[in-house]
Amino acid sequence: MFDYGYFSFGSKDELLAKAAEYWNPGKVSFWKDAGTPMVIDRREGYRLYDMSGKSLIDLHLNGGTYNFGHRHPELVEVLKSGLDYFDMGNHWFPSVARAAFAEKLVNTAPHMKYAIFGAGGAEAVEIAIKTARYATKRKKIISIIKGYHGHSGLSVATGDERFTKIFLAERPDEFVQVPFNDADALERELKKGDAAALIIETIPATYGFPMPEDGYLKACQDLCHKYGTKFISDEVQTGLMRTGVMWGWQGYGLQPDIFVCGKGLGGGIYPISACVVTEECGQWQVEDGAAHISTAGGSELGCLVGHHVLEMLQRPEVISNIEFVAQFFSQSMAEMMARHSDIFCGVRQRGVVLGLEFDHPEGAVAVSRALYENGVWAIFSSLDKRVLQFKPGVVKDVELCQEIMDRFDAAMPRARQLLDQMRRSA
Amino acid sequence: MDGGALLKVPDRDLSSARMKVVRAAWAAKYYRKFERTSVLQIAEAVAKAGYEKAAHYAEWAVRETGYGVVEHKTLKNQLSTHDLLDFYRDLDLVTPRVDQERKIIELPAPAGVVFALAPVTNPVATVYYKTMLAILSRNAIVLSPHPFAKECSADAARHLAAAAEAAGAPSGLIQCVEEPSVALVEDIMASDKINVIMATGGNAMVRAAYSSGNPALGVGAGNAVAYVDPSADVDAVARSLVESKSFDNSILCTNESICLTLEQNRDNMIRALRTAGAHICNPEETDKLRNYLWTDGRFNLAAIGKSATWIAKEAGLRTNDAARVLVPVVERPGQDDVLFREKLCPVLSLTAAVDFDQAVTFAAQAAKRGAGHSAAFHGDDTHRLVLYSSAVPVNRVVVNAPCSQGAAGFATHLPPSFMIGTGYAGRSSIGENVGPQHLVHWTKIAFGRDVPADLSDLDFDSLAERPAVAQPTPTPSPQTARAEFTKDDLRAMILEELRSLKGASE
């Protein structure tokens, strides 16, 4: 019996049936078929507990949402203290929490001027695209093939057709895509002179974290400026110290005109996202501050949590820990790859953002399942299923990291077996 | 804005301290595999850095705490650098030990993360000393200074940490809590992420360390009785006592509290002490001093670590400006006089017993108030020395030397230490002067008595890892783009790198 006070379920199976009936049958059956039928029950630190009681170390982190782990005690304390004073607030008016958070956020990127808040990453991308269009008076938005920026009206149009076609949401005349790591292709598109912005994830997450080639991102930014196009960095998965610096673009020597962040900004406990813009791009806020509004965007509780998230990420001990975690997995994954080179064939890493490449078109699906069976939850990349997203959190300690590698090693024979089955049935 | 913050803010200092411990565990993971030469290199660098700023931090500590003497604190800081290293240089806590005959191999197992408290009385010397011990034993250390000495302690720790890192130590090996509090110390002491506590400080803190649930090395208070046998040269004894009691204004817990002699020797002793620079109190002065130093049985904290003349002035005594020690005289030994309790200031109570037996009985009782700690014996009568030492419940007896410096290993061949183990008598797990060997355990590999064992060709080199700092972290620059290589190229490169990794340690 799972009695939560407000509702209860007799068993995990009963819950799965209800979820399929009332919520989302596709998702329920997908995870069941994938061999990872997880229903997250308790969660604490970097551990999740399935309703069955099974414990899993979380390396999915929902793209960095749980950068500090689940229900980090300090963040919970912040939110609880915030609830004694604030609520979501009224977006129409200036507010102490919003002003303080905006200032803190803008101070992380000195060339920026304003922070505009949303409730989720897609909303921040909407704001970014609208801002670029305002600033350039152009309509076209360029993105990367296999790029991913969310599922709302404008943001989804930048992404893969898997997410647009089904909803008839493609807008081919306004949204074009060019291959990643191909500056020439970008220039051919920019030359047309009608692009408002290039939006690009600093390291494309859903595409499996392929690393930008040396100089590629800088070339993109320079080309954009050459043709009067705004350069938008999507930092939803690469921001918040995950690449070893606060924003991924800082590590590549970039100065985007606009960048967006979300996920971990709310510490995994209160949704908030932001679009940060230069003074020039943000002029619409001077012309008509209410041109974009959002009831849940920039909720004061979210601002309070986000403010504290940034403060925690700026602590020297946390920065040092990130270096240790990055270094540990760099070394451990090299060793692991040497031991399992028949299936494990590549590591893409920057900071605590890792993509692990397996030698099969759906290799990461098998590895994800094998890891799940061995107590580790890491998800494959939706748009490149050879690659497992492997995303350690910023405050992981040495014991947990060692446990992860122990479990990883133990999972490899099972992964090998699953891959063999897949090859035979292919 | 007058009523304080409207919202409750999490304790930033506590979170920061917890994170320091996590960081220390990372540093310890790498450092425990360091080779002996690297360990000694780091120890040398830290000793050098500490020595160079010994006077700077001594001055700072006196300014911040108001305790002690700059010149003497300088000396204590210095002794915790090169001298300490020289003492332990040949104590190898890194190389595995092989006992062919008993068919036992021992592998060193450092503790991991040491959480070390530093007292207000010896703040920087303790930071130096505990850091050196951690380095020599391949442990990471998180120091927590006394709140009244936090500035100098934290700065000294940062100074040593920078020197250690420059010499190749992993980042985070030496850290210090910047804003200590009782709540913070209790939280960290109870953390399952620390491996051992080194507790020096007040009795409450030491008890808390032992109650934390974690392994602890804690030491108790002292109350050293210096027995002066008639066989001693009183002039030499007096010089020794004055030197010891005036050293850093008696802030070391090893300082003599009571000078005990026999009645036949009392007048000699008084004359000699006076000649050596002590002010001998008349009965009225003795009463004034007693009343100044104790109120309702509680010691006057203002007197700790202050000079003799300062205390004399505060207590209303008229003394010569050159007086280095105040000597109240208690006619007869007895346990009730508060003057026979511990005094961390240059006040030495003088008393005399009718005979040696009474002296031993009295010393044994008085030493219970500093059980397990230190005592001193002056004289040539080794028979009496042994009787005295076996009767008094202490773990060290300093002979014909100043006890402050002698028990702490600076004027004797005892290990130099700012942690004087008070043993079971003093409610401590450790009875010796604490050294780096106490921060390492050994994994014993033991063959069956009657089975053959070939221990001639053991390979320990593979145990060492490349120092963590030598590895480029993947953070600063993007990894080489994979697209330029085929998978086979990449695999070959990685295997090559792994081979070179192993090669480097072979």
Q: Are residues B254 and B161 in the same domain?
A: no
Q: Quick: pLDDT tens for B11-29.
A: 999 999 999 999 999 999 9
Q: Judge whether residue A330 has pLDDT over 60.
A: yes
Cβ count near A295 (within 10 Å): 12
Compute the average pLDDT of residues B127-147. 98
Tally C-beta pairs within 8 A across A and B.
Answer: 119
Q: Are residues B53 and B194 in the same domain?
A: yes
Q: Judge whether residue B3 has pLDDT over 60.
A: yes
Q: What is the pLDDT of residue B487?
A: 53
Active-site amino acid positions of B: 253
The b/e string for B118-148 (b: 16+ C-beta within 10 A; e otherwise) is bbbbbbbbbbbbbbbbbbbbbbbbbbbbbee
- Asked if the Cβ–Cβ distance from A317 to B16 is below 8 Å, we say yes
Compute the average pLDDT of residues A266-277. 98
Number of helices and strands in chain A (H, E): 14, 17
Q: What is the pLDDT of residue B481?
A: 37
Question: Whole-angstrom Cα distance, residue A127 to residue A108?
Answer: 20
Q: Is residue B65 part of a domain?
A: yes
Q: What is the pLDDT of residue B493?
A: 56
Domains and CATH numbers, chain A: 18-72+320-425 (3.90.1150.10), 73-313 (3.40.640.10)
Distances (CA, A) of B403 to A207, B33, B258, B303: 72, 39, 11, 20
Q: Are residues B165 and B46 in the same domain?
A: yes
Cα-atom radius of gyration of chain A, to the nearest Å?
A: 22
- Asked if the Cβ–Cβ distance from B476 to A244 is below 8 Å, we say yes
Q: Quick: pLDDT tens for B143-181.
A: 999 999 999 999 999 999 999 999 999 999 999 999 999
Q: Which of A174, A229, A225 lies closest to A198 in space, CA to CA?
A: A229
Q: Quick: pLDDT tens for B391-410.
A: 999 999 999 999 999 999 98
A218-222, B94-98, B463-467, B489-493: range with lowest mean pLDDT:
B489-493
DSSP-assigned states of every residue in B468-498: GGGSPPSSSSPPPPGGGS-HHHHHHHHHHHH
Residue with the bigger pLDDT between B494 and B219: it is: B219
Q: Is residue B464 part of a domain?
A: no
Relative orientation angle of helices A398-425 and B12-31, to the nearest 10 degrees: 70
Cβ count near B483 (within 10 Å): 10
User: Best of A327, A360, A396 to disrupt the B interface by mutation (most B CBs within 10 Å)?
Assistant: A327
pLDDT band at B491 (very low <50, low <70, confident <90, very high): low
Q: How many domains does chain B have?
A: 2
Q: What percent of chain A has pLDDT over 90?
A: 99
Q: Are residues B104 and B207 in the same domain?
A: yes
- Asked if the Cβ–Cβ distance from A244 to B475 is below 8 Å, we say yes
Distances (CA, A) of B74 to A322, B54, B255, B490: 38, 5, 18, 56
* Residue that is written with structure tokens 């207590």 in the block: B315
A83 touches chain B (CB under 8 A): no
φ and ψ at residue A76, rounded to 5 degrees: -60, -40
Q: Is residue B2 part of a domain?
A: no
Distances (CA, A) of B24 to A240, B143, B195, B439, B466: 23, 11, 11, 15, 18
Question: Whole-angstrom Cα distance, residue A246 to residue B428?
Answer: 47
Check which CATH number belongs to the domain holding B247 and give it.
3.40.309.10
Q: Look up residue B239 and give its two tokens.
A: 């010089």
CA A90 to chain centre: 28
Q: What is the pLDDT of residue B47?
A: 98
DSSP state of B426: G
A107 touches chain B (CB under 8 A): no
Q: Is residue B210 part of a domain?
A: yes
Q: What is the pLDDT of residue B201?
A: 79
User: Best of B23, B33, B466, B484 to disrupt the A interface by mutation (most A CBs within 10 Å)?
Assistant: B23
Q: Quick: pLDDT tens for A33-69.
A: 999 999 999 999 999 999 999 999 999 999 999 999 9
**Interfacial B residues in 196-215 facing A (CB < 8 Å):** none
pLDDT band at A163 (very low <50, low <70, confident <90, very high): very high
Q: Are residues B116 and B63 in the same domain?
A: yes
Q: Are residues B184 and B278 in the same domain?
A: no
Q: What is the pLDDT of residue B496?
A: 59
Q: Is residue B480 part of a domain?
A: no
Q: Are residues B77 and B202 in the same domain?
A: yes
- Asked if the Cβ–Cβ distance from B172 to A399 is below 8 Å, we say no
Question: Whole-angstrom Cα distance, residue B30 to residue B22?
Answer: 13
Q: Judge whether residue B474 has pLDDT over 50.
A: no
- Asked if the Cβ–Cβ distance from B474 to A326 is below 8 Å, we say yes
**Interfacial B residues in 138-177 facing A (CB < 8 Å):** 171-172
pLDDT band at B277 (very low <50, low <70, confident <90, very high): very high
Per CB-CB distance under 8 Å, the chain A contacts of B497 are 334
* Residue B115: strand, helix, or coil: strand
Q: Which of A68, A198, A209, A201 lies closest to A136 in space, CA to CA?
A: A198
Cα-atom radius of gyration of chain B, to the nearest Å?
A: 26
Compute the average pLDDT of residues A278-296. 96
Compute the average pLDDT of residues B108-133. 97
Q: Are residues B254 and B395 in the same domain?
A: yes
- Asked if the Cβ–Cβ distance from A320 to B172 is below 8 Å, we say yes
Q: Judge whether residue B505 has pLDDT over 70.
A: no
Q: Is residue B6 part of a domain?
A: no
Per CB-CB distance under 8 Å, the chain B contacts of A349 are 474, 479
Q: Do residues B116 and B32 touch, judged by C-beta distance below 8 A?
A: no
pLDDT band at A1 (very low <50, low <70, confident <90, very high): confident
Q: Judge whether residue B480 has pLDDT over 60.
A: no
Q: Quick: pLDDT tens for A362-395.
A: 999 999 999 999 999 999 999 999 999 999 999 9
pLDDT band at B490 (very low <50, low <70, confident <90, very high): low
Question: Whole-angstrom Cα distance, residue A389 to residue B84?
Answer: 50
- Residues 6 or more apart in contact with residue B115 via CB below 8 angstroms: B21, B141, B142, B144, B188, B189, B191, B194, B196, B197, B198, B214
Q: Are residues B215 and B301 in the same domain?
A: no
Distances (CA, A) of A298 to A127, A283, B456: 13, 19, 70
Among B476, B479, B494, select the one facing A337 at the smallest CB separation. Answer: B494
B470 touches chain A (CB under 8 A): no
Question: Whole-angstrom Cα distance, residue A300 to residue A97?
Answer: 5
β-pairing, B196-199 with B294-295? unpaired
Question: Whole-angstrom Cα distance, residue B66 to residue B82?
Answer: 27
pLDDT band at B470 (very low <50, low <70, confident <90, very high): very low
Check which CATH number belongs to the domain holding B53 and give it.
3.40.605.10
* Residue B368: strand, helix, or coil: helix
DSSP state of B415: P
Average pLDDT taken over every residue of chain A: 96
A359 touches chain B (CB under 8 A): yes
Question: Whole-angstrom Cα distance, residue B412 to residue B400?
Answer: 10
Question: Whole-angstrom Cα distance, residue B182 to residue B146?
Answer: 9
Could you list the residue range(s) of the whole structural domain that residue B355 is in? 224-413
Distances (CA, A) of B130 to B92, B210, B412: 18, 18, 20
Q: Do residues B492 and A337 touch, judged by C-beta distance below 8 A?
A: no
Q: Are residues B338 and B388 in the same domain?
A: yes
Q: What is the pLDDT of residue B335?
A: 84
β-pairing, A195-201 with A230-234? parallel
Compute the average pLDDT of residues B74-99. 96
Compute the average pLDDT of residues B267-288. 97
Q: Is residue B174 part of a domain?
A: yes
Q: Is residue B361 part of a domain?
A: yes
Q: Are residues B123 and B256 in the same domain?
A: no
* Residue that is written with structure tokens 């490169």 in the block: B493
A321 touches chain B (CB under 8 A): yes
Q: What would you measure as the largest C-alpha separation in chain B, in angstroms?
A: 96
Q: Do residues B161 and B53 touch, judged by C-beta distance below 8 A?
A: no
Q: Judge whether residue A204 has pLDDT over 80.
A: yes
Question: Whole-angstrom Cα distance, residue B380 to residue B369?
Answer: 27
Question: Whole-angstrom Cα distance, residue B114 to residue B457?
Answer: 34
Question: Whole-angstrom Cα distance, residue A386 to residue A422?
Answer: 13
Cβ count near A175 (within 10 Å): 21
Question: Whole-angstrom Cα distance, residue A65 to residue A222?
Answer: 31
Residue with the bigger pLDDT between B55 and B473: it is: B55
Q: Are residues B271 and B214 in the same domain?
A: no
Q: Do residues A334 and B497 touch, judged by C-beta distance below 8 A?
A: yes
CA B173 to chain centre: 19
A13 touches chain B (CB under 8 A): no
Query: What ipTM describes this predicted complex?
Result: 0.90
Q: Judge whether residue A225 has pLDDT over 50.
A: yes
Q: What is the pLDDT of residue B498?
A: 53
Domain boundary among B345, B378, B413: B413
